[in-house]
Structure 1
Amino acid sequence: MSVVTISPTSSARLYDQTVEQLGRSIVQGALRVGESIVPDQLAENLGLSRSVLREAFRALESKGLVQARPRIGTRVSPRDQWNFLDPQVISWRLQGEDRLEQVEELYSTRLAVEPVAARLISGLSDADAVRDLRLLIARMRDAMLARDLHAFTEADVEFHTELLLRSGNKMFSCFSTVIAAAVRTRETLVFPLVEETHKGLEMHERLVEQIAEADPEVEETSRTLIRDAHSEARTALGHWDTHGAATL
């Protein structure tokens, strides 16, 4: 089995670190599909209690990454059993060699869901939703002026999550973690807050005004917004792969 290291710390932190290190090792291929993991041996090697390791394996099993079977033991699950909607799995893929594929899948999911959500919410005449979306745009603008990437990203995540939650389609809420992960690629890849961000903010404002006016063009505006963000992500990813993370 490939080597996994865990730093000594509190029990709660040990649990988080164990899930993080094992999950990342599986998703990024250090622990291969079908590879056997011996919990007792791993606990001894890492200096972990069996209870901490047991809870960590339960978390990994809930993500579809490992499976425990009588007389077979614990093994890394086939990829088609992984929960690719899980936010940690998404994060681990974005940090590994799968990052380009993960970015493409995140943005294709956004294109499939968000324009429909925008159209649905525009037909609801929901003044409270429009007000809340405008407030989030104001937060994004303040963060942009302050060059606060984290604050900008969190307001952007809330904006796009709000679109799903206010659309009237309860099933869209299931995609909120995926949409949030896609929006957070801004921070993961460290996009500079430059001219493209000003344009994107103007597009957000246009989208909200079209929602308020029940404009039939709202779907196309949503698609344009997502495609522009996708293009930014590809550019940042190319820079990240060549030079490391971009700087503000």
Structure 2
Amino acid sequence: MTALLQASRLTVRIGDREVCRDLELQLQPGERLAILGRNGAGKSTLLSTLAGLRPAQGGEVRLQGRSYSELGPRAAARQRGWMAQTQADAFASSVLETALAGRHPHLGRWDWESGADAELARAALARVGLTGMEQRETPSLSGGERQRLAIATLLTQAPDLYLLDEPLAHLDLSHQITALELFAGLARERGAGVVMVLHDPGLAARYCDRALLLQGDGTWESGPVAEILTAAHLSRLYGHPLREVEDGGSRWFIPC
């Protein structure tokens, strides 16, 4: 089976500091990967490299066996969805218009969105609890509402691979769980691949199959969450002792 996402001997740097060195990564259909690390470890930089938005300093990234240069921007956007850490509105638009932007990779150069596209966008807005807000201007939204709109835009795009940079930012606990359940459902029901930058290792253990730990000096660890997300690994990662607590089949990590 061809991997949705493959990184081979990938080296990424910020200035003279290495984010990762010779990273080997494969994500198969239906898999969910959490990227964890301290602030400034380079999680967002790595994710943007995996999205083809910045060049690597070594190695390569492939989507379903093809490089970004082979695919081109439009074909790549049909395969992978990218959610940045912060949402910027270059100009005022409505909630529905913003969600509809997710259909642009699927349209011809001079095509307009169809009624079917609008229905996809409305269904995506309903899934994140924004029904009835279609005509609101995006600058009037709260931070959490804007984050949910960004998720709805990705759902409207409907890629095979979702690359999410801190998708839980600005969300209250209820909406955090709703978002994680939503992406878990896409992985389970559609075979979508999901890569998420997360800060809570307990949620990563609960909602992801695999984890990638960035140590901040170019070294990394990757594997199944049961093996990688342990108190020992995470204490070393964050530079603070943690202990593991298990309850009802879920594992949580508490600072000592």
TM-score scaled by structure 1?
0.28
Select the structure that is richer in strand: 2
Q: Which has the higher contact order (CA 8 A, sep 6+)?
A: 2
TM-score scaled by structure 2?
0.28
Select the structure that is richer in helix: 1
Q: Which has the larger radius of gyration?
A: 1
